[in-house]
Amino acid sequence: MQRPLHRLRLAPLAEARGSALEEVRQLLGAEPEPAPALLDCGDRPVTLPELRSIASALEQAGLPLRRVEASEALSLVPAAALGLETALHRAGSSPMEPAEVATEATAGAGLTIHRGTLRAGDHLQVEGTVLVLGDVNPGARVTAGGDVRVWGRLRGVAHAGCQGNGDARIVALQLRPLQLRIAAAVARGPEDLPPVGFCEEALLENGAIAIRPADPQWPQELNG
């Protein structure tokens, strides 16, 4: 018989008095009974480093983190990147299953989340911004009206701002594409390895595509 999940619910953002990790440690109590854990973030934004720290603390307490729920789709991105189960819910509603998260994110924030590697012959095309939780292999293509963001290696072809948006950008943990396109501009990817500890981004500067190190975080305009 499968054990029920040990639910840990973070306080709403307006009532938070410390970090998510500090709050989880307080919620654990003295000696929690070992069981898989469910973390309900509510409206609290949790970054990937924070979630890694929380998962480590729960593992040490005998509560391996299995599932993350949240009321904001982007709060589930770090959980999905760690391979955890995810579910999106709204106040007063039941959690939605993982397959529905991408649909809700697209409708609510102009963001489409694709889980899994894109392989040769695949073409992912969206109207807004796309976040790929996986690699984009040679021979695969990603096209978006907004940003193209890859939580993995981009080695195929990426076209951001395909409808003429010159403010769009392409971001990846490793940016080594066969071809980059932003709006009407075209360029090849760099050949040298990225700086340690940084992801990379491509953006338009004076009409040409420039590539530079970037902080591994999501744009603030997508967090509301």
Q: Are residues 90 and 119 in the same domain?
A: no
Q: Are residues 133 and 191 in the same domain?
A: yes
Q: What is the DSSP letter of 145?
A: S
pLDDT tier for residue 17 given thresholds of 50, 70 and 90: confident
How high is the pLDDT of residue 194?
60
Lowest-confidence region among 139-148, 178-187, 212-221 = 212-221
Query: In sequence order, which residues have a C-beta less than 8 Å from that of residue 30 and are 6 or more positions away?
Result: none
For the chain, the average pLDDT equals 79
First vs last Cα of the chain: how many Å apart?
Answer: 40
Q: Tell whether 41 is covered by a domain.
A: yes
**Contact (CB, 8 A) for 222 and 129:** yes
Q: Are residues 120 and 175 in the same domain?
A: yes
Distance from C-alpha of 113 to C-alpha of 102, rounded to nearest angstrom: 5
Q: Are residues 120 and 213 in the same domain?
A: yes
Query: Higher pLDDT residue, 69 or 191?
Result: 69
pLDDT at 182 exceeding the cut of 90: yes
Total of domains in the chain: 2
Q: Are residues 139 and 178 in the same domain?
A: yes
How high is the pLDDT of residue 33?
75
Range of the domain at 57: 6-109
Q: Tell whether 1 is covered by a domain.
A: no
Give the global pTM: 0.57
**Contact (CB, 8 A) for 146 and 168:** yes
Of 109, 138, 172, which closes a domain? 109
